[in-house]
């Protein structure tokens, strides 16, 4: 006492509290040398501007998150059939980077057996899930062309099992995700498809400035639901389940049980039309209820240019809400889950009118970046038109990502630490260095990915808890589980965002509290409570044997 606080002391205190510091250090870590190839042409093929998938997964179970990046491929001006996209050229490969203990990465694409992306496949996105419950995450790559399922052999290698599994889809797939819609313990697969489009039936739009055409120029198409038979094969149940009863222009997908009936529902972000909310009827069928639930259109009844989406509880009321990223002069749509199966449009209340009306959003996540117990918003941003600035000086093609901190349900812009604008597309979320602070990997169309390492670790005093689910009667990763920690709720998923897959672990910020009560409702129906959990740890919770 009595010692006068010096200016240096004061600044150090601020730093210790994390005040004034940008949230992330934007890095290109050693060894992560990926360069996305989209090869734009004067033909303005729509696929050029849509790719950029990224996944965070621990493929070798060494406890460190690895990064899988989807490449697109080579286009010619104009394209001729048969289309190959030169996927045999190493520059156009998808890439798997293993994280080393020192935070650097090693390209293991070749030794993992992932060099063959498939002739005729222009890459889009990625989904991750342990579809055979063998404890190793498998990778599903979506393409314009045919999709590929890579089975993780558990020895650092993967095998293309697409044909055997029966999940090649075809057409133009974008986001996809694993989830267990029938709660049988086997992960099923949902695949969004964008448009009925191919290079031979492409169009160029615009007059003075030639641009990519809006989606309404091309016919809508169906999404696909594959049911996991549990024997390494899948059955296309799109028709039987009712999923293909409606056609969309679908880009994003996310899963959660919005009506608390224990069956995981599906939200699909559609571009330039109404959004889909597929209610899981619990009998293997779905009913599209977006309009009647109030989650299909804006408050003015207008369609959205839906791209990415996330389905999590942003206001800690225990119910999953829906956020959809869109084009500028719309506002990122936030559909608040009011209960009783109804949603209300809350974008403006949540501050998104100010934050997003001039921006285009793609990959999106609701994660607690400052560990204060409220999920914050991160959006990878960039306009869809690479020449938008010539058409409209008020808009920008490249944009910095949006980071907005959640202040009791209202989002406020914060310094992400990304100084330069990028053509953001995919975004995957996870704790890369296991320090308890959520990190992000963002892809840039035609560019290098950015690794955003959360720099609050060790500086701010907030506590955290990361939970790794180990299903026994449920699917092994517990995807679909509803996990509640100290009044916060998360639904276990790797899906959401845009063409991306995030870490399967569930992260909770605990603020000043150093213990937690964890409550899990597993997909099997098992209800499990773990009391007095110490903060600041990565905790594996094994599903209880009895309900």
Partner 1 sequence: MIAGFLSFLLALQAASASPASQHLHAGLLAAQGGRLDAAIAEFKQATELDPKLAPAFLDLGEALIEKHDYAAAVAPLKRALEISPNIEGAHRLLGYALLAQGYASDAVPHLEKAHDEDVLGIALLEADRLQDAVIVLQKALARHPNDPDLLYYYGRACGQLSKEVFDDLEARFPESARAHEMMAQDYAALRDVGGAEREFLEALRLRPQTADLHLELGGLYARAQQWDKAEEQFRLEAQLQPGSPEAAYRLGESLMQLGKFHEARLALVRSDELKHDMPETLYLLGKAGNLDGDDTLAEKSWLHLLTIENNTSLAGQAHFGLAGIYRKQGRTADVDREMELSRQLQGTQDQTQDSPK
Note the residues at the interface with partner 1 (CB under 8 A): 216, 220, 246-249, 273-274, 288, 291-292, 294, 297, 299-303, 328-329, 331, 342, 344, 348-351, 353-354, 357-358, 392-394, 410
163 or 348, CB closer to partner 1? 348
To partner 1, the closest distance from the beta carbon of 460 in angstroms equals 28
SS3 readout for 164-207: HHCCCCCCEEEEEEEECCCCCCCCEEEEEECCCCCHHHCCCECC
Backbone angles phi, psi at 540, to 5 degrees: -90, 130
To partner 1, the closest distance from the beta carbon of 410 in angstroms equals 7
261 neighbors 339 (Cβ within 8 angstroms) = no
344 or 433, CB closer to partner 1? 344
SS3 state of residue 244: helix
Distances (CA, A) of 251 to 163, 197, 425, 540: 24, 14, 12, 33
Kindly report the CA angle at 508 between 460 and 24, in degrees rounded to 5?
45
To partner 1, the closest distance from the beta carbon of 176 in angstroms equals 20
SS3 state of residue 40: coil
349 or 536, CB closer to partner 1? 349
To partner 1, the closest distance from the beta carbon of 408 in angstroms equals 13
How much is the CA Rg of the chain, to the nearest whole Å?
22
246 or 441, CB closer to partner 1? 246
To partner 1, the closest distance from the beta carbon of 217 in angstroms equals 12
Residue 294 Rama label (left phi>0; alpha psi -120 to 50; beta): left
62 neighbors 492 (Cβ within 8 angstroms) = no
97 or 343, CB closer to partner 1? 343
451 neighbors 32 (Cβ within 8 angstroms) = yes
The 10 Å Cβ neighbour count of residue 1 is: 2
Paired with 356 in beta bridges are none
**Nearest of 268, 180, 186 to residue 482 by alpha carbon:** 180
To partner 1, the closest distance from the beta carbon of 138 in angstroms equals 31
Instruction: Give 3-state DSSP helix, strand, coil % of the chain, rounded to 5.
Output: 10, 40, 55
7 or 393, CB closer to partner 1? 393
To partner 1, the closest distance from the beta carbon of 344 in angstroms equals 8
To partner 1, the closest distance from the beta carbon of 393 in angstroms equals 4
339 or 487, CB closer to partner 1? 339
178 or 276, CB closer to partner 1? 276
To partner 1, the closest distance from the beta carbon of 366 in angstroms equals 18
6 or 408, CB closer to partner 1? 408
Residue 51 to residue 54: CA distance in whole angstroms:
10
134 or 292, CB closer to partner 1? 292
Give me the sheet containing 402-407, strands edge to edge. 361-367, 376-381, 402-407, 410-413
Residue 431 to residue 504: CA distance in whole angstroms:
11
To partner 1, the closest distance from the beta carbon of 482 in angstroms equals 26
Paired with 144 in beta bridges are 122, 172
To partner 1, the closest distance from the beta carbon of 165 in angstroms equals 28
343 or 464, CB closer to partner 1? 343
155 or 300, CB closer to partner 1? 300
Asked if omega into 82 is within 30° of 0 (cis), the reply is yes
Residue 251 to residue 398: CA distance in whole angstroms:
20
251 neighbors 498 (Cβ within 8 angstroms) = yes
To partner 1, the closest distance from the beta carbon of 273 in angstroms equals 5
507 neighbors 368 (Cβ within 8 angstroms) = yes
């Amino acid at each position: 006492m009595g010692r006068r606080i010096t200016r240096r002391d004061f600044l150090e205190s601020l730093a210790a509290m994390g005040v004034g510091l940008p949230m992330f250090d934007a890095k290109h870590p050693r060894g992560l040398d990926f360069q996305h190839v989209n090869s734009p042409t004067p033909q303005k093929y729509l696929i050029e501007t849509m790719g950029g998938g990224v996944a965070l997964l621990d493929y070798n179970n060494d406890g460190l998150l690895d990064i899988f990046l989807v490449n697109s491929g080579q286009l010619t001006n104009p394209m001729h059939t048969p289309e190959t996209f030169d996927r045999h050229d190493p520059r156009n490969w998808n890439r798997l980077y293993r994280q080393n203990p020192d935070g650097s990465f090693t390209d293991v694409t070749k030794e993992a057996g992932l060099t063959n992306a498939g002739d005729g496949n222009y890459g889009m996105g990625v989904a991750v899930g342990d579809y055979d419950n063998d404890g190793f995450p498998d990778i599903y790559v979506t393409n314009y062309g045919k999709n590929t399922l890579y089975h993780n052999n558990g020895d650092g290698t993967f095998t293309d099992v697409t044909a055997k599994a029966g999940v090649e889809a075809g057409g133009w797939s974008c986001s996809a995700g694993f989830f267990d819609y029938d709660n049988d313990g086997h992960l099923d697969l949902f695949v969004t498809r964008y448009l009925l489009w191919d290079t031979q039936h492409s169009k160029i739009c615009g007059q003075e400035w030639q641009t990519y055409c809006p989606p309404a120029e091309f016919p809508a198409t169906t999404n696909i639901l594959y049911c996991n038979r549990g024997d390494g094969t899948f059955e296309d149940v799109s028709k039987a389940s009712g999923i293909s009863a409606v056609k969309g222009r679908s880009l994003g997908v996310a899963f959660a049980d919005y009506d608390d009936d224990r069956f995981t529902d599906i939200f699909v972000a559609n571009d330039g039309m109404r959004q889909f909310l597929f209610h899981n009827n619990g009998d293997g069928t779905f009913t599209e209820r977006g309009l009647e639930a109030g989650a299909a259109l804006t408050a003015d009844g207008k369609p959205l240019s839906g791209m990415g989406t996330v389905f999590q509880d942003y206001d800690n009321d225990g119910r999953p809400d829906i956020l959809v990223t869109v084009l500028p002069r719309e506002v990122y749509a936030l559909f608040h889950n009011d209960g009783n199966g109804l949603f209300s449009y809350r974008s403006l209340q949540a501050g998104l009118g100010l934050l997003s009306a001039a921006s285009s959003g793609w990959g999106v996540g609701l994660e607690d970046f400052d560990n204060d117990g409220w999920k914050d918003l991160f959006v990878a941003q960039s306009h869809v038109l690479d020449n938008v600035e010539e058409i409209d000086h008020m808009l920008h093609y490249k944009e910095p990502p949006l980071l907005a901190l959640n202040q009791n349900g209202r989002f406020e812009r914060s310094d992400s630490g990304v100084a330069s604008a990028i053509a953001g597309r995919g975004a995957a979320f996870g704790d890369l260095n296991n320090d308890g602070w959520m990190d992000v990997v963002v892809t840039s169309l035609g560019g290098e990915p950015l690794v955003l390492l959360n720099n609050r670790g060790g500086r701010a005093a907030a506590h955290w808890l990361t939970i790794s689910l180990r299903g026994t009667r449920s699917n092994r990763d517990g995807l679909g589980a509803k996990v509640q920690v100290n009044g916060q709720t998360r639904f276990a998923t790797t899906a959401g965002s845009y063409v991306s897959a995030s870490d399967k672990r569930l992260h909770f910020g605990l603020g000043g509290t150093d213990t937690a009560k964890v409550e899990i409702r597993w997909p099997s129906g098992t209800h499990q409570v773990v009391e007095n959990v110490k903060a600041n740890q990565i905790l594996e919770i094994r599903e209880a044997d009895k309900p």
